[in-house]
Amino acid sequence: MNAAPPPAPRKLRLATVSLAGCFGCHMSFLDIDERLFALIERVEFDRSPLTDLKAVGRCDIGLVEGGLCNAENVQVLREFRAHCKTLVAVGACAINGGLPAQRNHLRIDELLRAVYQQRDGLAAGAQVPDDPELPLPLNRVHPIHEVVHIDYSLPGCPPSADAFWQFLTDLMAGRTPQLGHGLMHYD
Amino acid sequence: MTPAAPLFLLDGHPVPFKPGETLIEAATRAGRHIPHLCWHPGFAPHGSCRLCMVAIGERQLAACSTAAEAGLEVRLHGEALAAQRRTLLQLLFVEGNHFCPSCERSGACKLQAEACEAGVEGPHFEQLYPDRPVDASHPDVLLDLNRCILCGLCVRASAQHDGKAVFALGGRGLGTQLVVGSASGRLGDTDLAASDLAARICPVGAILPKRRGFAVPIGQRRYDAAPISALPETDDGMPPP
Amino acid sequence: MPFDLETAAHPERLRRVAIDPVSRVEGHGKVTLLLDEAGRVQQARLHIVEFRGFEQFIVGRPYWEVPVMVQRLCGICPVSHHLAASKALDAVVGVTGRGGAHPLPASATAMRRLMHYGQVMQSHALHFFHLASPDLLFGFDSEPQRRHIVGVAEAHPEIARQGVLLRQYGQEVIRATAGKRIHGTGSVPGGVNRLLSDDDHALLKGQAAERIAWAEGAVALAARLHESEPALYRHFGEVPAMMLSLVRPGDGAMELYDGVLRVRHADGSLLLDGHSDQRYLDLIEEEVRPWSYMKFPYLRALGPERGWYRVGPLARVQNCSHIPTPRAEAARQAFVAAAGGAVAHGALSTHWARMIELLYAMEVIAELLDEPALRAGELTASAPRQGGPGGDSEGEREGIASIEAPCGTLIHHYRVGRDELVTHCNLIVSTTHNNQAMNEAVRAVARHYFDGRALTEGLLNRIEVAIRAYDPCLSCATHALGRMPLDVQLSAADGRPLDRLLRDGDGRCTR
């Protein structure tokens, strides 16, 4: 008589990455605490530091922490853009470069020499690292929207766990995420 | 019997005004917040930040420099005005170096509060990352031009309230900058005192008292508990030392 | 050639195997191996590929910004940087930690200590439960599809739940003392900006006993894992190294907020004790190698080849004379007894030591919560600091401080001009101290497991397991988190691709 229950909706795929970030945004995401167990009922992590349950495929949501400090960051960001339907700049560094962008008024070569050749307590003859294995640093730190299209920004340094929760639950419900007072902050 | 004060309508709400008042003065007195950065109740309007733009009929006018008139129908809210306000705020952010995470005015900064209120989630435009100096030559006051938004409040406070001429705006267009009125161009060579209004009126983190950063804990900062639109306009600025 | 397997004699003749990135989440680090024709490892290096330049752009900023700014070095242990900077800047504003004309108020010391121990707790819980436990509970060669916190939640729901809630407790301690869980503002040069509220006190006090019990359970779990495969746990990634950490002045007890430097030889004998962190430059010198942005510190007196050392839980638990809280001390004695009088140098022993410290931190928090100074008292010292015109080095003030961050000893060093702007900053972060030790652990694993064998996911995972045991904060440099995707490529000397193994983020390997 009764129709079969509707099939469970497909879980959304969520990818996360930290480029030139401090990992604070990922930590704040983990600060949803026990809500994590509720979240994994509705979301599967794909290319996330948290789990690796499913095969890498196209993602519904990509969360990007950190700005662009070197060439490798740019490459990883482009891969994320190519794989994620909705790409989100998470936190101050992804959104405007964050504190690492405070180096932008300095010349990168002078910066490297100061840290690797002119600091206290360095062994004699210290040189700036230059091995081909090291990705080239960019002259300036850039926010990610200057390189790829982003769909949303989630501000904060880091955004609070409640902001993550509000943002993701809105997104999962098909609503445009709205952060009210308290959840919307830049510090 | 005193005659009833004349009224104008702000988004449909009647706002009483006294003759000679501007829209923003009357609205502020009535407890209605019109976004602004360069306006301050104690000083003549500057009309530079354009955040207080309102629509009257087809025209857009700055509420800080438009006289209230009986029967005016003024629109503050609305998608077009809100989008314009967000753009203005985004331009301010990318023009300077506004690193909120390590700025001691975070939570008590008007630029930040207005941007949060307006729903600015990101800069949208390309960051300019200008190379601007920090002037720490004054024993008690720090001047960090990275955060200056050229509102001119310190200029007016110094000239009109403190009776000094510590600050001025120089240059044109993108080259406009805050200049310090001493032969050396350094704050330490002016007669600025930490108790001057000019040293306390900055709505952002450009002019700050030294050695007091982060004294107010998170949760107790001015805009932690309520958004700027829900708070009364104050004399603003940092408390006197 | 100072270190075996660090630099091959003729790299151009060797096949390159790149594990890149070691941690894909930031892409800050990678491992490269060079193999000869017989598949023997001739060179193995852990590269730190990220450079952010904090030390330099802090110069020219006002000193009171620094504790808030430098914590952005790392979102996992921000409190370490927040407090190390605050302690160093106490000296700059004329405040002393102990005694002196302008001592730090008792309330400020208590709040900072509480904040710090909260952080050690949350970081250790994160590292063990969220990151390392899947390897340990399921095995290095287990299905990669299960090796993550969600897998743990399915197979061992109570372990996962307690892990999440232990971390939550530490984060709540930080929120209550710093204003928010990550990147707060609680500590300022010369004091703090808040006391503990009654609500937060009641919350933390109410949960303390249960969290201590869970922490004891975590120690028991780590010990049980050890006993399940003693040879593996003892010898995997085993690298005999000197041990450096802070200890409590006088009795050498474990102490994570403030102390004196002690160094032991790899055999457990004391090399140096009671060394003030103010003279760290007499003790430590750093070498730069062209293939990593992370410097290589060593004891100046012994030189780079013999003078490198290990920091972090494994060093601290074996360097201290005892732990001044009863449960953790009992756990330490069990750890020492299990090693049969020898010093433990295996990478996996670090997890056991880490859980002993988790218990210690939890016990300290519970003690501190009874401290009345947390809820009443002066916030800041009346510092004698006076401003000046600046620009002259005469009025420059210096501040040096160290603290035991979750992953090891952290040193901050600043000079501040009379105009209040920072003129100099030098940081030696915990993971940097471990740079040589981590490289040696990678080589030990590569030497033991890789030689001549075909590449498998399990072999690659072993390299990660060894690196991960150090809880490398490779973001202060970069904190490696969770499953690392690997892309290993083997090329012939002429560049012809020989073999390629891709391990995706989901742990699946494809060739």
Q: What is the model's pLDDT at position C121? A: 97
**For residues B120-127, average pLDDT:** 94
- pTM, entire model: 0.92
> Which residue of B102, B147, B221 to mutate against C (max C Cβ within 10 Å)?
B102
Percent of chain C surpassing pLDDT 70: 86
Give pLDDT tens digits for C74-101: 888 999 999 999 999 999 999 986 677 7
% of chain C exceeding 90 in pLDDT? 60
Please give the mean pLDDT across all residues of chain C.
86
pLDDT at residue C25 greater than cutoff 50:
no
Query: For residues C476 and A117, what is the distance between their CA atoms, to the nearest angstrom?
Result: 20
User: Of C184-188, C396-400, C477-481, where does mean pLDDT reach its minimum?
Assistant: C477-481
pLDDT at res. A24: 93
* Model pLDDT, residue C24: 26
Q: Which of B101, B121, B129 lies closest to A140 in CB terms?
A: B129
Sequence-ordered list of residues with C-beta below 8 angstroms from that of B37, at least 6 positions apart, any chain: B49, B51, B92, B110, B111, B114, B149, B151, B203
Q: Does B131 touch chain A (CB under 8 A)?
A: yes
Instruction: Tell me which of A96, A110, A140, A183 to substitute to probe the interface with B (most B C-beta atoms closer than 10 Å).
Output: A96
Distance CA C264, CA B197 (A): 59
Q: Name the more confident of A53 and B115.
A: B115
C-alpha distances in Å from residue C368, one per residue of C77, C188, C206, C380 = 20, 20, 14, 19
Instruction: Show the low-confidence residues of chain A (pLDDT under 50).
Output: 1, 52-56
C contact chains, 3+ CB pairs < 8 A: A, B
CB C254 within 8 A of CB C317: yes
Q: Token digits for C257?
A: 């907020």
- Select the more confidently predicted residue: B3 or B92: B92
User: Residue B124's CB: how many other CB atoms inside 10 A?
Assistant: 15
Cβ under 8 Å to B: A residues 4-43: none
Give the contacts of C212 (CB within 8 A, at least 6 positions apart).
Answer: C327, C359, C362, C363, C366
pLDDT tens-digit map of C33-53: 888 888 788 888 887 777 777
Q: What's the one-letter identity of residue C34?
A: L
Task: Tell whether C60 lies on the interface with B, counting CB pairs under 8 A.
Answer: yes
Out of C32, C288, C506, name the one closest to residue A54 (CB). Answer: C506
* DSSP annotation of C422: E
As a whole number, mean pLDDT of residues C60-68 equals: 97
Residues of chain C with C-beta less than 8 angstroms from the C-beta of A68: none
Cβ–Cβ gap A103/C151 under 8 Å: no
Look at residue B227 and give its three-state secondary structure: coil
HEC readout, A53-115? CCCCCCEEEEEEECEEEEHHHHHHHHHHHHHEEEEEEEHHHHHHCCHHHHHHHCCHHHHHHHH
Mean local confidence (pLDDT), B154-178: 94
C224-282 residue pLDDT tens: 999 999 999 999 999 999 999 999 999 999 999 999 999 999 999 999 999 999 999 99
Query: B103 vs A153: CB contact, 8 Å cut-off?
Result: no
> For the segment C404-434, what is each residue's pLDDT rounded down to a tens digit?
999 999 999 999 999 999 999 998 888 889 9
